Amino acid sequence: MDLARELGQLGDWAVDLRSGHFTSSREAAAILDMPHDCELSSWDAIARFCTDDYRGRLSGSWQECIHNGALLNMAVEALTHSGRRIWLRIVARPLLDEAGEISGVQGALQDITPSKLAERKLLDSEQEFRRFADSMPHVIWTATADGCLDYVNDAYTRYTGLALDKTGESWISALHPEDVERCLEEWQRAVENGTSFAIEYRIFNQALGMHCWHAVRAEPVRDAQGTLSKWYGIATDIHDHKILSEKFTQLGARLNATFESMSEGFYILSRDWKFTYLNTAAEYFLQRNGSGLLGKVVWEEFPLIAGTPLENALKTAADSLMPSRLEYFYPPLECWFSVNIHPNDEGVSVFFQDISEQKAAALSLERTSRALRLLSSCNSALIRCESEDALLDEICRIALENGGYQAAFVALQDDSPANGLRLAAHACTAIESGIDPFQEHRNISSSEDCCPLQQAMRCGQPVLVEDLADYTASWRLHIKQCGLVSGVCLPLRDRRKTLGVLTFWLREKGATLQADITLLTELADNLAYGIASLRAEERHRQEQNAIVKLAASTSASSGRAFFEQLARNMGEALGAHASFVARILPETPPRARTLAAVVDGQNIENFDYLIKGSPCEQLAHGALCIVPDDVARRFPASPSLAALGARAYVGHRLDNATGEPVGFLFVLYRRHLSRTNFITSTLKIFADRAAAELEREQTQARLRDQASLLDKAHDAIIVHDLDHRISFWNRSAQRLYGWTDREALGHSIPGLMSHDDADFRRAFEQALENGEWVGEYLCRRKDGSALTVEASWTLVRDQYGAPQSIFTIETDISARKKMEKELLHQARHDILTGLPNRAYFYEQLEQAMKRSRRRDSWLGLLYFDIDKFKQINDNHGHDIGDEVIRTFVERIRSAVREADFMSRLGGDEFVLLLEDLSAPECAEIIAAKLTAAMQAEFVVKGLHLQVSTSIGIALYKPDMSVDELVRQADQAMYRAKHAGRNCFRY
């Protein structure tokens, strides 16, 4: 335990080497993520958690501990029970017996994962710094807080040919002997004071075989508490500057000649960012005269580099005295430059050269990679998107985000007679700044022959736009507003036709997309397939919607409501702005009257119209009439067409079963119709349903005429179809239920008058199965009152033998049912008290015993009477005795639960049935309450009487019969009487 506390109170364990008994704490198991009910059982159990790299070494240390008494203290990597990788410190100390022999081992586990991770992070950070330092041309070094060097970079070894020894003192041997003492004094002073170290001294250069001057700087680093923890230093070669400063002029001329002969551009900026030197190559690259730039501020002469990575790199190099390198694109020259920046005492020196050709090759490769990523993302969108608009928007968005394009849009073939292109989706980086020229120019006429989009449509091949300036069409101006210069137009080719054009645009002048054509063409073909698939799915959804709308139309009861719903759903399913159902009238000249007229989703007043001169006249020669355009001009005799703004008409004739025309079904459109296959096929379905409903109405009209004879019947006679809609309602039904025939016809029986839908459904199913049903069920009158009817249902079949309707005769038997209920109550209840009688009690007792067995619950029975009740009758008469019984019952009821069943067996004998008792003793508690309820005097017609009761208690057992349980309770009551009355006994 002490060892565990030394490690920080973690998991401890111990093993008796002689008995092998192993014990461990709950904390030890928790460290290894073992379940709560598990614990470590042996040393091997601990070792198994260790990874393979450490298990062998741990085993060796364990053997040393148990055999030689060595202390075990190891950090190992382990995998916990849950698979989590952690670091453990395992410590074990041998225990000695009185003879000094090793008898056992005591140990502990500690989770040292956080400290290990921190050490690793610190080590990684140090290694990252050293990798960075090794890549630097300057000598970079670090030292401990006490000034001992612990690291120098590779540049030091390359420069001096020496390596840093373990003592950190070998660097002194690289110094010039004359500089050693001065350098050590300055370094010691800086270390003691914790201040910056800056000095110039000579370091041996093995390449030159001589000592060269260096400027050495070092800065102290402090931790969060302010304690000096590290030194970081850099040594910069300044030998040339020191030695050749006297020959600056001569060297300057020589250097100038060298710089002028360089193919790289080179210029020098002073600390205040003025040009102090430019070579000829720099003048060529910058396209500026050098003499005109000398003494000028770089930001003023080249303002476009302000705020760019080049400005940031120049200032960073000057501030940090560290070289910098970058690649930079200068827009005015349209060139890429490789720039190397070197800080110096005067400012910065900049070497740069034109890498535009190399960059163009790299950009071409990058663009191909982007095209591949774009193709992959777009294929994912084809699978994910569920609508055409969403798919096209997603493709354009992906083109900008993954493809690197500045704009993308999709133009689809327009259905208009001009057959132009309409903009279906677009995305452009300029939209983020509020510019969206595509919004105002969404149509491209087929007359724009020089338009590359129309060219791609006609030839079915990709069209490259290398420079928009080569095109003069009006659409070019809108694209150019976004700064777009070049692009590609890809036809969207279906198997049968070209659906439209997919285009991608860049702002790079002269940029070629030829390398991307193959991948982009594959993308366009995939998109065309996706559009065609989504359109096919949309057509399928329209067909399904039409079927659903037709099905919904049949939910209306009948008559005007049916035709209005059918017309509305027909218009919605076919996308028409107006829809009509009309009946042919038997008049001369022929006229028709609308049964339903729906315009823009709203019902309008029905009207009559002449068939002659209207599009419906064409239906006399065929079942279908289509007018795809100019319907109002072609039929001037129908002014309502122009009033409704109709351009197209599609109508269908309604015929009855014998083929005779009975009406018309037609829809109107405010647009030209180019494709009508779906409209005509769907309209025929609606027409068949409307014709069937018209014929059904005519048939029911005849049936109603015949059924008028049934109005004289005394019983209610009702006919309803298989959808439970009432089609006949005689006057006796009106007298019985309260609804007139106008109120009842067409309504559903369950919704109108059924009190219990389940009873109605069962009767209906039996009538369908057997052809008839006779029985009773509960109904509802118009005023909400309930009545019981005796009904006789007969199934009526059509001429083909199929079920058609139900013929019902119903008689009110409510009075008879009420009388039967009253007689039943009288037969089962006591007249004096209203309590259940003996027969009813025995029925309930038998059911209660079954429930007790099923629930395995306690059931008790109290058997009691009124003490000395015979004396009350003899002394005061039977009237007083009856009042005493009534008062007695009232007190008993007030003392028991509402669910407890109480019965009068006869005379003054009563029983109380106690179900679901929580314990047998509960029966005693209730019996005590009953005796207590009798304590107060009975005041009956001015008489003050003292009344008590004797109670017998019996508890039901599963093997008892009804009579046996009652007999035991009765016998217990007599034991209570023998005990002095006014008490209870078992």
Catalytically active residues, by annotation? 908
Type of residue numbered 937: E
CA–CA distances in Å: residue 709 to residues 596, 712, 719? 32, 7, 14
Q: Compute, in degrees rounded to 10, the torsion defined by CA atoms 74, 76, 82, 84.
A: 130
Strands (E), 471-627: 486-493, 498-506, 578-585, 591-599, 602-603, 608-610, 624-627
CB under 8 Å, gap of 24 or more: what pairs does 501-504 form? 501/410, 501/411, 501/421, 501/453, 501/456, 501/457, 502/395, 502/408, 502/410, 502/527, 503/408, 503/409, 503/410, 503/411, 503/453, 504/399, 504/403, 504/405, 504/407, 504/408
DSSP state at residue 748: B
Distance separating alpha carbons of residues 830 and 906, to the nearest angstrom: 9
CB 330 within 8 A of CB 288: no
Q: Whose structure tokens read 């170290």? A: 197
What is the per-residue burial (b if ≥16 Cβ within 10 Å, else e) of 795-829?
beeeeeeeebbbbbbbbbeeeebeeeeeeeeeebb
Residue 404, phi-psi category: left (phi > 0), alpha (psi -120 to 50), beta (remainder): left
Q: What order do you get walking across the sheet with 858-866 strand by strand?
A: 901-906, 909-917, 858-866, 949-955, 984-985
Distance separating alpha carbons of residues 183 and 201, to the nearest angstrom: 7
Distance separating alpha carbons of residues 755 and 380, to the nearest angstrom: 57
Q: Which two structure tokens, joined as six digits, stand for 328?
A: 């930079």
Distance separating alpha carbons of residues 361 and 369, to the nearest angstrom: 13
Q: Whose structure tokens read 């109480």? A: 902
Strands 984-985, 949-955: pairing kind: parallel
Distance separating alpha carbons of residues 267 and 286, to the nearest angstrom: 11
Q: Whose structure tokens read 């598990």? A: 38
Strand partners, 17: none
CB 775 within 8 A of CB 689: no
Q: Tell me, rounded to whole angstroms, the distance of Cα 910 from its chain centroid.
A: 67
Neighbours of 232 (CB within 10 A): 16
Distance separating alpha carbons of residues 141 and 163, to the nearest angstrom: 12
Q: Whose structure tokens read 């292109």? A: 421
Strands (E), 498-586: 498-506, 578-585
Neighbours of 511 (CB within 10 A): 16
Q: Is the dihedral of CA 134, 136, 138, 144 positive or negative?
A: negative
CB 464 within 8 A of CB 514: yes
Residue 808: its H or E element: strand 803-812
Distance separating alpha carbons of residues 479 and 484, to the nearest angstrom: 6
Query: Who contacts 192 (Cβ-Cβ below 8 Å, separation ≥6)?
Result: none
Distance separating alpha carbons of residues 789 and 749, to the nearest angstrom: 14
Query: Who contacts 430 (Cβ-Cβ below 8 Å, separation ≥6)?
Result: 406, 407, 436, 481, 482, 483
